[in-house]
Amino acid sequence: MKKSVLLGALTIAGLAAGAAAAGTLDDVKARGTLNCGVTTGLVGFAAPNADGEWNGFDVAVCRAVAAAVLGDATAVEFVPTTGKTRFTALASGEIDMLARNTTWTFSRDVDLKFTFVGINYYDGQGFMVPKSLGVTSAKELDGATVCIQTGTTTELNLADFFRANNISYEPVPIETNAEGQQQYLAGACDTYTTDASGLAATRASFENPSDHVLLPEIISKEPLGPLVRHGDDEWGDVVRWTLNALITAEELGVTSANVSEMATGSNNPEVKRLLGTEGTLGEMLGLDADWAMRAIASQGNYGEIFAKNIGEDTPIALSRGLNAQWTNGGLIYSPPFR
């Protein structure tokens, strides 16, 4: 078992080293589309609508990068990935970036050779149970069957939590969120565990969401963010600073509605640098001066993207919490644009 895991990690790292030899920015420009890895379907984060159009919090990051690089937020080929297939897809070059609620960990960075360009959602692992079970704490789940996605950090956190509390469980392995939802609703498991945001999104899609309870325990830190392959710093910079542009735009009051007005009318030097009316930041990235303005105009700033897809006025109803701007007591913070 350990040997197969080690070989798997070595294989992914080897693929990443080979694929990173090519310049991804040049490849994306030449291809005219961005290949972006997303989840197989998690409402609010990444899911196709009835017309097959992908929408969501993570999807918006992909579209912002496409707008910055290609001038067209629709020039994205979305590639659904599971917890098991996502890293191979990125390492092999099948996708240019991964925006699939993926936790930034030491081993994924150092061992698998991926660069997390930032954090777009601070999350933690939780549990959902049917209200009819009468369970009010995860510590009451001794002997429970647990639906758990394989190949994820949540699988490891689950084992740690039950061992630390000297209670037992029986795992019910699943590959995708859709399978987890199906198994949970069919009663194949007593509880479903994944990131708390994912549980909220999953519960929102149920016919009767109020029949299910999110337990109070958050058992891990899950800093989620987009990632690229090691060894292609030019591309990593493009994805990193596009995400930072969305975050900085919210901090500076630049929105999808006023971005054109701010570009010409603001006296704030950082707004001018962000929107390309002063300085040469776009040129430093290998892009034109309007790259960030296009990303913001097409998707909105970080706060707009959050509110539209997963915010308190959506069925998912997530509060900003740790994902508020640092100026409002949260952890969302971008380095300066200068």
Query: 174-213 burial, b if ≥16 CB within 10 A, otherwise e?
Result: bebbbbbbebbeeeebbbbbbbbbbbbbbbbbeeeeeebb
d(Cα 1, Cα 14) in Å, to the nearest integer? 20
* 82 vs 28, residue with greater confidence: 28
Average pLDDT over residues 296-306: 98
Cα 167 to Cα 140: distance, rounded to the nearest angstrom = 9
What's the pLDDT score for residue 9?
A: 56
Residue 20 has pLDDT above 60, yes or no: no
Residue 176 confidence (pLDDT): 87
Residues, the chain: 338
Extents of the domains making up the chain: 27-120+225-328, 124-221
Residues 6+ apart with CB under 8 A from 98: 36, 37, 81, 86, 87, 89, 90, 114, 226, 227, 228
124-221 shares the fold of 27-120+225-328: yes
Q: What is the pLDDT of residue 16?
A: 60
Nearest CA to 86 out of 124, 46, 143, 135 is that of 46
What is the rounded average pLDDT of the residues 160-184? 94
Going 60 to 64 to 65 to 71, the CA torsion angle's sign is positive
Lowest mean pLDDT among 2-6, 93-97, 126-130, 251-255: 2-6
In the numeric block, which tokens belong to residue 219? 């058992």
Quick one: which H or E segment has residue 6? helix 2-19
Domain 27-120+225-328 classification at class level: alpha beta
Mean per-residue pLDDT, 111-131: 96
Q: Is the pLDDT of residue 6 over 50?
A: no
Pull the structure tokens for residue 138.
């995860």
* Strand order, beta sheet including 191-195: 169-174, 144-149, 191-195, 125-130, 212-214
Interval 45-64: pLDDT, tens? 999 999 999 999 999 999 99
At residue 5, the pLDDT reads: 40
Sole residue written with tokens 């949260």? 330
Average pLDDT, integer, range 100-116: 94
pLDDT range class, residue 211, cuts 50, 70, 90: very high
Q: Which pLDDT belongs to residue 151?
A: 79
For 124-221, give the CATH class: alpha beta
What 8-state DSSP symbol labels residue 121?
A: E
Look at the pTM and tell me if it is higher than 0.85: yes
